[in-house]
Amino acid sequence: MRLRNVWNALRNRNILLRQTIDIDIDAITMSGLESNSSKVEEGFLFVAISGYKHDGHDFIEDAVNRGAAAVIGEKDEAEIKGLQEGVPYIQAANSREALALAASRFYERPDRKRTIIGITGTNGKTTTSFLLRDILEQAGISCSLFGTIANFLNGEERKAANTTPDALQLNRMMAESNDEVIILEVSSHAIEQYRVEGIQFDIALFTNLSKEHLDYHGSMEEYFSVKRKLFNQLKPDGKAIIFTDTDWGKRLVQELGDEGIPAVSAGRGEENDFWLKNIQADEEPVFTLRHDENDYMVSLPIPGIHNVYNAALAFAAAKELIADSSTIASGLEGFKGVPGRFEMLRHPCGARFIIDYAHTADAVQYCLSTARRLGAKRIIHVFGFRGNRDTGKRGTMVASSAKYSDQLILTFDDLNGIDPAEMEAELHTLNNQESGGKGIVICDRTSAIKHAWDHAREGDWIFITGKGPETYKTPFFMPADSDKAALQLLNKEHDSIKPAKTADSY
C-alpha cells in the first residue's frame, strides 16, 4: 500500500499536522505497519505512540535502523532522534488515532467486508457476546468474537490481552477472519484510546452503566459520554440496540432518537420494542419477550436475573440478522455458557462454589441476590480489589456484599505494584466501616479460598469474585494460578469437581 493512502486518511480526519521531510510520499510503498520498533521490518511504517510505560518516540531510531520506510509521531521533528535522510516523518495530532486509521487502510477496511457488531456497557458484555455468538452459529452463521475471555476466529481460539485488542491487532484479525459476522466487546478504554477508531458497526449494543473506571474517566457523565461515542460509528444503515432498565439506557435511546439514529429498545417496560415480561428467575430462568405484538417464550440454562437481561439484549440483536424467532430462542436454550462467569463447582459436602468476574457493586448484587433467591442457606463471599484501580467503588462493593452475604472474606487481587501492607490496611478499614461485622480479612487469596472451603456446609453458596478465569499476577501460598485451580487443588479428588453451566455477572 502507498503511504499516500495513510497520509490522506490523516488529512481527512484533520489530525495531520505536517510532513517534516520534503519527499514524494507517492513513491513510498508500505510493506507492513507496526507500533513496536522491535517488530519493524524493511519497508514498514512505524507509528510512535506515547504510552503509559514507554514513549514510542524514543524508539524511532531503532525502527529506522530496522528498515522503517516512514514514521508517524506526535512530537515536533526537532525533538526526534534517529531520523535519516529519505525517511519521511509525518506529525499527527494523535498517534493512537493515526495508528487506527493507518491499520484500517493498510488492511483494506475489513469492517466493510463483514457484519460488525459492537457491545459496550459496564457489565454483561462478555455473556451477551457469547450468547449472541451461540445463537448465530446455531443458525448456521459463522462468527468471530474478540473479547475479554479470548479471541475466536475461523474456528480457532487465541489468547486475549485486553477486552478490546489494540487497533493494529484488531484490524489484522478482522482481515484474517473468514467468518460472516464479527462481534467485538468494546470497553470504554478502547473507545478513549482509539482502538476501534475507523471501524464502522452494523449493530451496536448497550448493556448498562454503573460505577466503574472512574479513576480513568473522572465522573459518570464522562464515562457515559465515552460509551456514547460508539454509536456515532454506526454504518449509514446501522442500528443501535439498547437495554433500558437503567436511566443511562433510557437517556441513550432519547439522545439517539433526537439525532435520528435508529435505536431498538429492550427492557421490562411495555414501551420497549422488545418487552421483557413474565420473568421466572429460577435456576433455569423462563421469560417472555413481546415484539411486534408477538410473544416469544424463552428458557435459559443459566441462573440470574442479570442473565435474563443479557439474553433479552442478545435476542434483540439476533433478530436483526435472523428472521425466525424460534431459531433465536432455540439458540438461547442451548447456550453453553462462559468460562469464569457464574461458573459453578461442587464441594464434596454439597456446597456450591461459584467463580465469577463480578467487579462492580451491581454485578455483586446480581450474583448474591440470585443465590438468595434460589434458596442458599448461607452466602459466603470471597473478593478483593486490584491495586492502582478505581478506589472509589470499593466501599460500595463491600456494602453491597454485606447486604446479601452471611460472611465476607476480603482478600488480595492483583496488587499491580501496590505495597501489600497498604492494601492490607485498606481491607481492614473497609471491613471495619462497611461489612456490618460480617467480614474477615485473609490477605493471601488462596488461603482465603481454603478458609471458605474448609468451613463449607451443605446448602452454602460460596462466591469467589473479581477474576473469573484470569490467572493470578500476584504469587500466593498455594501452587495455583487461578481461582478455579485453587479449588481443584483443595479437592482430594479433582475429577469430582464437575463444572456446571456458566454465565456472566451483569
Nine-digit cell string for 302: 443459566
- Residue 17: per-residue pLDDT: 81
Phi, psi of 26 (to 5 degrees): -65, -20
Residue 409, CB-side half-sphere exposure with 13 Å CA sphere: 22
| CATH (residue range 110-333) | 3.40.1190.10
Q: Which is nearest to 355 in space by CA: 488, 257, 160?
A: 488
Give the per-residue pLDDT at 505.
43
pLDDT, residue 495, reads: 53
Residue with cell 484501580: 389
CATH number for domain 3-106, candidates 3.40.1390.10, 3.40.50.720, 3.20.20.140, 1.10.540.10: 3.40.1390.10
pLDDT at 24: 76
Q: Give binding residues for ATP as ranges.
A: 121-127
Strand stretches in 434-476, DSSP E: 439-441, 460-465
- The pLDDT of residue 501: 53
DSSP letter for each residue of 234-296: EEEEEEEEEE-SSHHHHHHHHHHHHTT--EEEEESSTTSSEEEEEEE-SSS-EEEEEETTEEE
Domain segments of the chain: what residues?
Answer: 3-106, 110-333, 343-496
Rounded to two decimals, the pTM is 0.89
- Does this chain's domain 3-106 share its CATH topology with 110-333? no
Query: What does each C-alpha distance from 20 to 72, 184, 219 come to in angstroms?
Result: 10, 37, 39
Please report the pLDDT score of residue 500 as a whole number.
54
User: Which residues does the chain have with pLDDT short of 70?
Assistant: 19-23, 213-217, 492-506
Domain 343-496 is of which CATH architecture? Alpha-Beta Complex (3.90)
The 10s digit of each residue's pLDDT in 357-380 is: 998 899 999 999 999 999 999 999
Residue numbers in the known binding site are 37, 121-127, 162-164, 187, 193, 195
Only one residue has cell 456446609, namely 457
133 and 198 Cβ atoms separated by less than 8 Å: no
